[in-house]
Structure 1
């Protein structure tokens, strides 16, 4: 693993890099390495095209009885008839 020194970084660029490193909770070195990996294509940036929030209201809302009822229905639908698989 090598070391590279970059000369000629002006105050504006240094400030922006430090701010970005702080905002992303990374060291300045890690930020620069991640940026170089993405720019050179070594590491691809994940692109998600859509966020879905249509069932967000359901999270954390079921009582234990409701969960048991729903899980029981799911389990009963997953039963395999051994006579069909001989």
Structure 2
């Protein structure tokens, strides 16, 4: 990743950038990167990454009993199979 400094940025432009970044819930740097990418005909990073919210309604919806039942049911995944993780001689590879 390269770093570019912008010299000669006037107060009005800096304030507008800051306001726009706040409005879009972005850092000023992320906003400027998106503006530069758009300016040279590329898709902004924010359009290339999708944020999914389709399971948000499930967050925090389990009762304590359901959460305990789930944790109990996945307990077997917490056990380490030491035979699988034993040290092997890798010098022959």
What is the TM-score normalised by the length of structure 2? Answer: 0.43
| Structure (1 or 2) with the larger CA radius of gyration | 1
What is the TM-score normalised by the length of structure 1? Answer: 0.45
Q: As a proportion of its length, which structure holds more helix?
A: 1
